[in-house]
Structure 1
Amino acid sequence: MENAWHTHKGRVRDHNEDSVGLFESEDGVPVAVVADGMGGHQAGDVASQSVVRIIKEELHHLKRDMDTEKIRKLTLRAVAKANHEVYEMASNNSKLQGMGTTTITAVLGDDEIVLSHIGDSRAYLLHEDGLYQLTEDHSLVNVLKKHGEITEEEAKVHPQRNVIVRAVGTNDEVEPDIIVTPWYEGDILMICSDGLSNMVEVDEVGIVLTANLPLSKKADLLLERALEAGGTDNISVILIKHDGSIQSTN
């Protein structure tokens, strides 16, 4: 599988609290992780970096022949362990109190993707020139939209648009959304932090992803678009293209 990624502090923040992970299990199963930390400098860094590290450790033993339910259970266990460790660190260190992170983890098989999602980082799948959002934001504005209290346009400028209602490390337990989706040769999975999805309209993302360009150039363009739009937050994006092989390549 071909892949490309970026993580960038943006134009406004003085440091990057996002962390990304792109690795393979010992049996060659590709895994991608994006975590968007919160809690200020040091705390957000610690939270996001810890989640990526623990998920990598916990999913190291993924096997190619595992069924969906087994992958789901292992992913849930990995996120639960990450949540426990971040919560304990925040509870026992006054400098880290209040820290947390979003997380989105993708386990990539030959014919399906298993996603674990908490927070407002997002996953999209490009399939036959259609771009589909696979995740639902765990954010206050999304709750308000679902209840018909605000419109999509109002959500974009809402003063509490950055408030997350579910995150890793802020409570002793957390429940991820698990999304299982088929994917096919030629499809592209994109996972990103809200520093990209809040800055670049989905139509523009679709234009970039369907362009006749190398995957690395598409990742470059998405980062450029987010920076051109203001880059008000940290920006992270991972692109993975299904090239007919489970083996990932850089």
Structure 2
Amino acid sequence: MEIQFQSDIGKRRNMNQDYANVFTNQAGMYLAILADGMGGHLAGDVASKMAVDGLGAAWSTSTIAQPDEAAQWFLAEIQKVNEAIYQEGIAHPEMQGMGTTIVSTALLDEKFVLAHVGDSRAYLIQNNQLKQLTDDHSLVNELLKSGEITEEMAAIHPQKNVLTRSVGIAGVIKTDVSEHQCLQNDYLLLCSDGLTNMVSEENILAIVESDKTLEAKTKQLINAANDAGGADNITVLLIHFEGEARP
């Protein structure tokens, strides 16, 4: 297994509020996390970093190696991170209302467990097909699922960035958790909406399945989003299930 990730400010933002990292626990299992922060000046990047570092610190001391343990761990730890971000906003009024998306995966031998809140996505690339594994927690996705708008309307909807769920709220947060099987040579892509709003799924699939190195593919995905306008921060975390673990 090889893991590469890269984050870019894009072409229209004056700061990068995305954040990603990879951690290992006491059982030698990897956790990959990507977060897309939101909020006022200096707040979104605080929220995304708190989410990633908070989950990473908790994972580093854990001994989790089984999918059911990972699922329970995600529910408990994302709730703790949610509370910490909310309290930080209360303590610093200039950061009040800050929040972040989270998409994260615990990589457990032939299985992986996904957890997500918000509209950062996870895709599995398997058998020359790209499959979205996460469901966007967004207003536009709700309208799409209810049949009120079409996919074409969703792509240009003025409220495209309005989330129905994010990390950093008062009370209990609802986290989607799912377990998946991975095969040799599959790819798992975690990304912020700075990629998916700019680059088609067909183009993403073509880049991931090219003959380039994993690092070159990651860079090419970022470049494709920037070439299309780079309207937002872009973060790409790409995992190739092949051979020995190599983050």
TM score, norm. by length of structure 2 = 0.97
Distance in 2 between residues matched to 1:76 and 1:120, nearest whole Å: 18
Give, in angstroms, the shift of residue 17 of structure 1.
0.4
Distance in 2 between residues matched to 1:153 and 1:208, nearest whole Å: 23
Give, in angstroms, the shift of residue 44 of structure 1.
0.3
Classify the secondary structure of the residue corresponding to 2:56.
helix
Name stretches of at least 5 consecutive residues in structure 1 with no aligned partner: none
Distance in 2 between residues matched to 1:176 and 1:243, nearest whole Å: 29
Classify the secondary structure of the residue corresponding to 1:144.
helix
Give, in angstroms, the shift of residue 26 of structure 1.
2.6
| 1:113-124 correspondence runs (5 A) | 113-124=112-123
Q: Tell me the residue number matched to 1:227.
A: 226
Distance in 1 between residues matched to 2:39 and 2:169, nearest whole Å: 10
Q: Tell me the residue number matched to 1:60.
A: 60
Distance in 1 between residues matched to 2:6 and 2:67, nearest whole Å: 29
State the number of aligned residues. 247
Give, in angstroms, the shift of residue 212 of structure 1.
1.4
Classify the secondary structure of the residue corresponding to 1:4.
strand
Name stretches of at least 5 consecutive residues in structure 2 with no aligned partner: none
Q: Tell me the residue number matched to 1:136.
A: 135
Larger deviation, residues 54-63 vs 81-90: 54-63
Q: Tell me the residue number matched to 2:31.
A: 31
| 1:71-82 correspondence runs (5 A) | 71-82=70-81
| 1:36-185 correspondence runs (5 A) | 36-63=36-63, 66-185=65-184
Give yes or no for contact 2:67–2:108 (8 Å, CA) kept in 1.
no
Divergent runs of 4+, >6 A: none
Classify the secondary structure of the residue corresponding to 2:105.
strand
Cα shift readout 1:190-219 (whole Å, capped 9, x = no counterpart): 000000011100010000111111111110
Larger deviation, residues 171-180 vs 101-110: 171-180
Give yes or no for contact 2:121–2:191 (8 Å, CA) kept in 1.
yes
- Equivalent AA in structure 1 for residue 203 of structure 2: E
Give, in angstroms, the shift of residue 126 of structure 1.
0.7
- Percent identity, please: 39
Distance in 1 between residues matched to 2:41 and 2:201, nearest whole Å: 29
Distance in 1 between residues matched to 2:15 and 2:91, nearest whole Å: 24
Give, in angstroms, the shift of residue 178 of structure 1.
0.4
Classify the secondary structure of the residue corresponding to 1:54.
helix
Give, in angstroms, the shift of residue 60 of structure 1.
1.5
Distance in 2 between residues matched to 1:234 and 1:69, nearest whole Å: 33
Distance in 2 between residues matched to 1:113 and 1:18, nearest whole Å: 23
Say if 2:186 is the partner of 1:190: no
Give yes or no for contact 2:7–2:233 (8 Å, CA) kept in 1.
yes
Distance in 2 between residues matched to 1:61 and 1:111, nearest whole Å: 22
Give yes or no for contact 1:51–1:82 (8 Å, CA) kept in 2.
yes
Give yes or no for contact 1:62–1:71 (8 Å, CA) kept in 2.
no
Q: Tell me the residue number matched to 1:11.
A: 11
